[in-house]
Amino acid sequence: MASIDRADPVILSHVLAEHRDLFHLLLSVRTALAAGGPPTVERQTDVLASMHALRDHLRDHFAQEELGGFLEESVTRIPRLSAAVQAILGQHPSLLSDLDHVIDHLEAAPTDPGAWERAQHDFEAFSVRMTAHERSENAVVQAGYNEDLGLME
């Protein structure tokens, strides 16, 4: 376990790397969804593959955060962060289910242009929530470790 009187560079760089990976996966779904043209089978395959990759990564990422690590360590360092950390962890189930709904709806009607419009709209809303979630985690780590992470500015 890290000493509580200094920042642990291993934990910090792990958080940064994880959140960068997530950000890139979010971007790749947005790019796939934004590509123009009719909802061909190829396009459907690309978009759903990128959504499933994001979903798998997100599930593992959330599970890791819930097991302990940087959020728990931040509370150990600064106990007043406890309520913020509980609120952040409490967002995980609904974030996963938001993404599941986007995937389910698109899989249910993959050739319907209306389903694509809805997927774009709903994924955008999910991205906004997800980005805010990660930003609040970065803020907790920043407060807990008293370091400027320079992320998600």
Binding site for Fe ion (CB under 5 A): 65, 137
Task: Identify each DSSP E strand in the chain by its residue range.
Answer: none
Residue 134 CB, shortest distance to Fe ion, in Å, is: 5
Nearer to Fe ion, 70 or 123 (CB): 70
Residue 104 CB, shortest distance to Fe ion, in Å, is: 22
What is the sign of the dihedral through the CA atoms of 153, 25, 71 and 96? positive
The gap between the terminal CA atoms of the chain, to the nearest Å, is 29
Nearer to Fe ion, 46 or 98 (CB): 98
Q: How far is CA 135 from CA 2, 105, 109, 139, 153, in A?
A: 23, 28, 33, 6, 9
Nearer to Fe ion, 21 or 117 (CB): 21
Q: Which residue matches tokens 């407060």? A: 143
Nearer to Fe ion, 73 or 137 (CB): 137
Residue 98 CB, shortest distance to Fe ion, in Å, is: 13
Q: Which one-letter DSSP state was computed for residue 80?
A: G
Residue 82 CB, shortest distance to Fe ion, in Å, is: 16
